[in-house]
Amino acid sequence: MKDDKKFEHYLFDLGRLVREYALAAVEERQKQENPASLEFYEGYILGFHRIVSLMQQQALAFGIELKDLQLEGIEPDRDLASVLKKPSS
């Protein structure tokens, strides 16, 4: 049972970190003006979109609540991919 808690804590922290890094990448992309930097951050954000989507889908498939992974409230299409369709501010 000790290992169950270890994995639970690992996934809880991992979800939080993935979420934080993904949203930070969106913020950083908004600051970019250089086309090469914009292209880099757009690819970076797409990678996070894929990871967050996969983690959420797998959690649902295994009956894990998104709040247990700290991935509730983030919607990859809305919060990550949608920023790619808008010019930077």
Number of structural domains the chain divides into: 1
Residue 55 near residue 68 (C-beta atoms within 8 A): no
Per-residue pLDDT at 84: 81
**Domain assignment of residue 76, given as a range:** 2-85
Instruction: Note the pTM of the prediction, 2 decimals.
Output: 0.86
- How would you classify residue 88: left for phi > 0, otherwise alpha for psi between -120 and 50, otherwise beta? beta
Q: Which residue has the tokens 């992974």?
A: 69
Torsion 12-51-25-80 (CA) sign? negative
Model confidence at 87, pLDDT cuts 50, 70, 90, reads low
Model confidence at 83, pLDDT cuts 50, 70, 90, reads confident
